[in-house]
Amino acid sequence: MSKTQRYVTLALAAGVIFLIVAQEAVALPIPSLDEMAGDWIPIKDVANPPAVHNFNQMLVVDRDLTSIFCHPGGLYPWRRGYPVVQLWIDGQKYPATETRWYAYRVLRRNPDCGGVAVETDTRMINEQRGVLCRIMVSNSGQAARKAEVALRVPGSLQADGVGASNSTQRANVVSVVRPSRKPDRVAAEGTEVCWKWTVELPPGSTKELGFVAGDGPQEKAANTDAQASNWAGHFDAVMADCKRVWGQRWADAFTPGNAHFSGNMPVLATTDPALARNYYMGVLTMLILERTQFPVSSRSFITSGERRDGTQYYWDASMQATAWALLEPAGMKATLRRWLVQNARSGEVIYITGTKGYDARHHDTITGYAFNAFTIFKTADEYLRVTGDHKFLDEKLEDGKTVLDHLDAFATDYETLSKGPHDLANYGENRNLLECAPAYIHCVPSLNAQNVWMLRRAAQWHASHGEAARAKQLRDRSAAILPAAIGLYKPGAGVWNAYHMDGSLVELRHCVDFIYVGDALCNDLTATQRAEMVAFVKRELFMRDWMRAMSQQDAAAARSDRPDHGPMGAYDGWIPLTVATMWRLGDPQGAYDFYRRTAVVTKEGPFAQAREFYGPNRKQHDAPVRVAMRQGCMKECISGGAFADIVINTFFGFSPSIDGTSLVGEPQMARPFEGSLTELRFRGRLYQLKTSKSGITITPDRPGNSEQL
């Protein structure tokens, strides 16, 4: 299918999406968006209510039936943005008792609002500052029912005697709220506009109402009102279009030569529903956080929707690097041009609202995240290997240095950091590392191990570039620092130590060392060390449905209760990264089994910043799990794309060598599942990877077009 073809119709059927292109239907064997929806969840069990995204902004629903948090440009800390629309039934307000997440909408309901049931459906208009809410009032009883339904909106009555205008919610911004159906009565009551309908409900019947909300600059108030009026006048069609646009984007993501992305994701076929659920939810989490309005690339992926517009954390985004390189290689390359010139020692984020600028100062110590250097390096490495775009190595960036120059600089950045015992690099204080783990400071194993890996990988890139002397220098440096990194292991325990700058050796029982030391030094560890590390994770971190980032036996556990990095939950990205390392350390079955178990958490919705254990049994193996909000945890996080990454690069082994001669690592290793990946692009061709008793079978399919990189 070429990119010049136009999609005419999108039809959704059970389990299959059909694209009708030039009168020819092409079936995509992927779950429908409705099949990807969450379950109905009691609102009392929800800490972080579900959200809706429209590829520009997001909203989060509140605990009533109609109000929302929506503040274009940055929702956190929680701000309304739009005036609060409150629903009244016969003079009473009612809470939502249950909620259900979909990619394109959020449902809320209460089955007993004074004898009638109410369900609401909240959506956002694609790439516009507009919100829709459909209200369905039902009578499930045996007798006819009459109800007075009212909507109250802060604001002033507009000249037509229907719409409500609000200019007090935000400075220099006008919000307009309009009903989708003409009210029976309208009244201006103090600072509110009230719309009322008398609804006749025969037994078993449902009546629908609704409203739209939009906003814009004060000087364009007339345009905002005209737009809201148009949405209200075509309410059903606009509601349907919200789903259509989302369905189109979902189909595009898996279609080679689609009209939107510069690449595509592979299609997973498997007999394992839990594997499929996590894979497709990983991709869907990426699409939720796609943004089309930023100048770096019109197909960008932000970290979380609540943050300031255009916020990308290097660390989070690095975790979905394989999927990023497959789905959107052109946008990834444009983003890497910005990332690679940044100072790894300053800051934690980049704002893709600008296309130029970087910090050229020398920082003797790390002032931002200590993980920046290797996460930027890894993301660039993944792009280069997955796309085969080796010409990028020679491209001169904004600072006049080449991409290869920057890879070399990141790999050797540790050399000018202050040193602790055994010349281990000092990576700073808690604010530079895990932020909530007081002992995880200074000469930590994760980053000293990653220095070894970066030096080795940079050497490979130099060797491929014909620079044998520089490659040897880097290999020699990696060999020199390896013993000190390995020396941080605690024999018999499966955990690692850190040296503090006062010379004390401190035990750490955290997943971050398992992940990053195991990733970097897998082939340097003994069989005993690998087995002990896996045993530690299974014994102290894995729970029934989720994991603990920090063991409850860590000395700092009582002082580290943050959902993402502490003992009462885990950052969502830790799960696939831990599973990937466990697989490499020699326990693919255990890794796969745990990955499958976590699929149950997606009944609440997509992958988030963190999930926490809650309730009186939160310390037990079978503790219930939910999306966390406390201590600033965000609703969704781009690291959730790692749940798709691991399927591609670990379970199916897709890890192209630098020279491109090897597509899959350990292709002869038997896999603990049955399945195939199709439409997998590598260097201009599409491949199929299929599991069998003898490992992975690789079948070239056909040429695969992608946007010029």
Q: How confident is the model over 311-341, as pLDDT tens digits? A: 999 999 999 999 999 999 999 999 999 999 9
Q: pLDDT-based confidence at 705, cuts 50/70/90?
A: low
Tokens representing 239? 């509601």
SS3 at position 493: coil
pLDDT per position as a tens digit, 126-154: 999 999 999 999 998 899 999 999 999 99
Of 556, 486, 480, 471, give the one whose Cα is nearest residue 523. Answer: 486
CA distance 491 to 497: 10
Residue 250, φ and ψ in degrees, nearest 5: -65, -45
Backbone angles phi, psi at 484, to 5 degrees: -65, -40
Instruction: Kindly write down the DSSP assignment for every residue of 96-163, as one continuous string.
Output: --EEEE-SS-EEEEEEEETTEEEEEEEEE-TTSSEEEEEEEEE--SSS-EEEEEEEEEESEE-TTSS-
Residues 651-683: pLDDT tens digits? 999 999 999 999 999 999 999 999 999 999 999
pLDDT tens, 213-258?
Answer: 999 999 999 999 999 999 999 999 999 999 999 999 999 999 999 9
Provide the pLDDT confidence category of residue 24 given band limits of 50, 70 and 90.
Answer: very low
**For residue 83, which phi and psi values (nearest 5 degrees)?**
-65, 150
Residue type, 110: N
Distances (CA, A) of 594 to 28, 288, 599, 600: 28, 25, 9, 11
Gap between the Cα atoms of 48 and 129, Å rounded: 23
Closest listed residue to residue 454, CA positions, set 423, 425, 420: 425
Residue 5 has pLDDT above 50, yes or no: no
CA distances from 399 to 61, 312, 339, 344 (A): 44, 21, 12, 14
**Structural tokens at position 606:** 């997509």
pLDDT at residue number 15: 36
Compute CA distances 159 → 165, 174, 225, 247, whole Å: 10, 15, 11, 38
What pLDDT, on a 0 to 100 scale, did the predictor assign at position 28? 77
User: Does the pLDDT at position 357 exceed 50?
Assistant: yes
What is the model's pLDDT at position 694?
Answer: 86
CA distances from 596 to 194, 302, 376, 672 (A): 50, 27, 29, 11
Stretch 88-113: mean pLDDT = 98
Confidence of residue 708 (pLDDT cuts 50, 70, 90): low
Q: Which amino acid is at 396?
A: K
pLDDT band of residue 27 (cuts 50, 70, 90) is: low
**What's the mean pLDDT when you consider all of the chain?**
94
Angstrom distance (rounded) from CA 635 to CA 235: 28
| Percentage of residues in the chain having pLDDT higher than 70 | 95
Q: Are the C-beta atoms of 420 and 501 separated by less than 8 Å? A: yes
The torsion region of residue 264 among left (phi > 0), alpha (psi -120 to 50) and beta comes to beta
Residue 16 has pLDDT above 70, yes or no: no
What are the structural domains of the chain? Answer: 41-244 (2.70.98.40)
Q: Give residue-wise pLDDT tens across range 360-410.
A: 999 999 999 999 999 999 999 999 999 999 999 999 999 999 999 999 999
Kindly tell me the sign of the dihedral angle through the C-alpha atoms of 292, 293, 294, 298: positive
The pLDDT-based confidence of 703 (bands split at 50, 70, 90) is confident
Q: How far apart are CA 698 and CA 701, in angstroms?
A: 9
- Pairing verdict, β 349-351 and 300-301: unpaired
**How much of the chain, in percent, has pLDDT values that exceed 90?**
93
Is pLDDT at 10 greater than 70 in this prediction? no
Record the tokens describing residue 599, joined without a space: 């699929």
β-strands 695-703, 267-270 pairing: unpaired
- Check residue 569 and give its pLDDT: 97
pLDDT tens digits, one per residue of 421-459: 999 999 999 999 999 999 999 999 999 999 999 999 999
| Contact of 452 with 481, CB cutoff 8 Å | yes
- At residue 93, the 3 state secondary structure works out as strand
pLDDT tier at 8 (50, 70, 90 boundaries)?
A: very low
How far apart, in whole angstroms, are the C-alpha atoms of residue 55 and residue 246? Answer: 9
Q: Are 688 and 682 in contact (CB under 8 A)?
A: no
Task: Work out whether strand 495-499 and strand 489-490 pair parallel, antiparallel, or are unpaired.
Answer: antiparallel
Q: Look at residue 140 in the predicted model and tell me its pLDDT.
A: 87
User: What pLDDT does residue 693 have?
Assistant: 81
The predicted pLDDT at position 100 comes to 98
Q: Which long-range contacts (CB under 8 A, 24 or more apart) does 414-417 make?
A: 414/373, 414/447, 414/448, 414/451, 414/481, 416/364, 417/365, 417/366
How is residue 563 written in tokens? 């959902």
Mean pLDDT lowest among 24-33, 179-188, 386-395, 575-584:
24-33
Residue 414's alpha-carbon distances to 344, 422, 424, 485, in angstroms, are 11, 14, 9, 13
Q: Letter for the amino acid at 504?
A: S
Tell whether the model's pLDDT for residue 9 goes beyond 50: no
Question: Taking the chain, what is the end-to-end CA distance rounded to the nearest angstrom?
Answer: 19
Tokens describing residue 231: 């949405």
Confidence at residue 21, expressed as pLDDT on a 0 to 100 scale: 34
Q: Look at residue 14 in the predicted model and tell me its pLDDT.
A: 32
Give the Cβ contact number of residue 473 at 10 Å: 17
Is the per-residue pLDDT at 3 higher than 60?
no
Dist CA 161 CA 670 (whole Å): 70
- At 18 the pLDDT is 34
Classified as helix, coil or strand, 390 is helix
Beginning with the edge strand found earlier in the chain, give each strand of the sheet holding 116-124 in spatial order: 41-42, 98-101, 106-113, 116-124, 130-138, 206-217, 173-179, 164-166, 156-157
Q: With 60 as the cut, is the pLDDT of residue 99 above it? A: yes
